[in-house]
Every structure is written in structure tokens, then in C-alpha cells.
Amino acid sequence: MRDLEFPLFKTKIENSPKFDLTDVKDRQKYFDLKAGEEIKKLREYLKENTFIVYLLGKKNSGKGTYAKMFKEVVDKDRVEHFSIGDMIRDVDRELQDENKKKELITFLEKNYRGFIPLKDIIDSLENRSTSKLLPSELILVLAKREIAKKERKAIFIDGFPRELDQVSYSLFFRDLIEYRQDPDVFVLIDVPEAVIDERIKHRVICPLCQTSRNLKLLPTREVEYEQKEKKFHLICDNSECKGARMVQKEGDESGIEPIKERLKTDEKLIKQAFSLYGIPKVLLRNSVPKDKAKEFVDDYEITPEYSYERDEKKKKVKVIEKPWQILDDDGVPCYSLMPPSVVVSLIKQLTEVLDLT
């Protein structure tokens, strides 16, 4: 990220066995090898304590992926990934049900405090464009309601703060939701925009089960070639699906172009959070410069990219794999990293921040 220094984090271990980081069992062995001691300390800590993490990264930077993987590896029962976006979508659904809508309005009448009249808030919720941001005071009270429904756990908050004026709210968020003694941490994520662009341009979904994959970065087991279109297509391999041809969502072919303003705001947020005093920070990098890769990461930790060739004789599609090379935001040739290696960095840095070393 321009103007900010995100240090390289070394996960390389000499003579490390090769792991398939897309396989759950192999991934667990990988984490045991690379962060086993820190995972034990975090599990012990979570028996009696909790924490709050604010995930700050550009849209599609992997915030939810990293939080969910941390939960999978460290403690499924004591860690919660809490998405503000999911919460708002749940509220949208509540408004479609008259009984739930009444309950929501009753709750807001008792708990909402802000500069915008509650009636206008409800009208805004019912008629809003998904691109229109809701008032920070409303986000806070809705978040408090949702967190109160859950058992007390360590929380990864994804999607707050989202605007510059919300950063100051986040500094006192733990007090507002009555997690007064919990350590709170900003996790700042640096992902080159080229990575985000490619993730969007090549993602596809199953029209039947909505499973998501990526033609370039995360193929399914079966790939078809369409002679008429002269295109390769992924076939859904969800065991609960009928195996439909996966399709691109409308607009994805434009990559990051439609969200450039959002990405600029996200970058300002990260820079503002970086400059704050009084709150610990964990700095995560999604990429490693190509000329430093051998020193800092094992080969299998580098994200592969996939291309395809049609084998006319066998009437099959040949899948070609190689390390995915991109240019970071400063134009430096880099490799993108697989999510588990970023989560190893998260585990180790969070252990230090919580003073568990």
C-alpha cells in the first residue's frame, strides 16, 4: 500500500513438507507446524478471556476469509466472525416480515440515539439503495443488539469502521457493547489492487447453489470447453449440487473499475487507523516481492494461477498451474499469498499483541 510500510512476515521453515492448503486436514497439519505453540496459547487464553478485532482492508481483500480461517484453526466455539454487511442484510429481511419489523421498531424506539429522526431511519432502511451508507449511530445500536444475542466470544468485526467518521466510534466500541475489559486490536490488511481486480474479473458462481469459484485462481475439479464460444467453463463440484456450469456475475468483467471510489475510501481508513495511538495493530500482507519469496515463504504458500488448454486428441481440458505473479500498488513484481500463510502471520502477531509470548 502506497505510503505505508507493511513489513514482510517470514513463514518459511527449512525442509518443510509440502501441504495442500486447500485441504482441511492438510491445512490443520500446516498450522500445527507453523504456529502450533501460538495456537495453544490462544486457546488457553480464550478459556477465560475474549478480545475484539476490527478488520480493516479494501473491499474483497479477504477479511472474512482470514477471520473464518482463524476461527477454524484456533477455536470454533470461542471465536465469532461478525459481518456488519450480513447484519444489514438480515435487517433488510426483517423489514419484509411484519412481526419482525414491529420488534425491530420497538427495539430502536428504546435504544436508538442520533441526529436523524427514527421515522426517517426506517424509511431509509426500507427504500435505501444498497450503495447508500446508514448512519453510524444506527450501525452501532444494531451491532449491539446482534452481539447481545450471542454467547460472549472473541469477535472479529468485519465492515466497521467503514467511513472516516466511524473510526472514532470504533475506539470506544468495546465500551458501547459492554466488552469493557477486552483488549481491542486493529488488523490492517494490505492487498494489491491488482489482486482484487483479478479476483473480481475471474470469479464465477453456480446458478443453482450459488457456490463461488474463480476461473483463474480457484477452479473446480471439472472444466469444460465450449467450442462455439471458444471459452473454458468451470462445472460446480459442490456435492449437494447437480453440477451446473458456473457463470460470471453481471458487471464482474469490469473488475475494480465500479468500486474505485470505495477502494480510495478504504485506503484512507487504513491510513487513519495506522496513525492512531493507544490501540495495538496487526499488519497483514497478502503479497511478497518476487525477489524475496524464497527467503520468506515456502513455494506451496504462493497462490497458484490456472490456465487451460484443449487436448483435441483426448477431448479433455488440460489444467496448467504456475505461481501467480502480479504488480503491487508500487509496481513491484510480487507473488500473492495463500490465505493460510496470512493467517499464520495473524496468529503470531495477535499472540504478541495479547502479550501471550
Q: Are 108 and 117 in contact (CB under 8 A)?
A: no
Range in 93-97, 167-171, 300-304 the model is least confident about = 167-171
Under the banding of pLDDT at 50, 70 and 90, the label for residue 128 is: low
| Domain 24-72+154-353 coded CATH 2.30.30 | no
pTM reported for the whole predicted model: 0.89
| 120: pLDDT strictly greater than 90 | no
Residue 64: C-alpha distances to residues 89, 170, 201, 322 (Å): 16, 18, 19, 26
Lookup: cell for 328: 503491487
Under the banding of pLDDT at 50, 70 and 90, the label for residue 188 is: very high
Residue 179: the pLDDT is 66
Residue 318: the pLDDT is 92
Q: Alpha-carbon torsion 251, 265, 130, 209, what sign?
A: positive
- The residue with greater pLDDT, 50 or 239, is 50
**C-alpha–C-alpha distance, residues 283 and 273, integer Å:** 11
Residue 213: the pLDDT is 92
Segment 5-31, tens digit of pLDDT: 889 999 999 999 999 998 889 999 999
Residue 283: the pLDDT is 96
**Mean pLDDT of the region 146-168:** 82
Q: Are 353 and 279 in contact (CB under 8 A)?
A: no
Q: Are 270 and 282 in contact (CB under 8 A)?
A: no
| 169: pLDDT strictly greater than 80 | no
**C-alpha–C-alpha distance, residues 58 and 65, integer Å:** 13
Domain spans of the chain, in order of start: 24-72+154-353, 79-152
Segment 265-319, tens digit of pLDDT: 899 889 888 888 888 999 999 999 999 999 999 999 999 999 999 877 767 899 9
Portion of the chain with pLDDT greater than 90, in percent: 58
Strand arrangement, sheet containing 52-56: 79-83, 154-158, 52-56, 184-190, 281-285
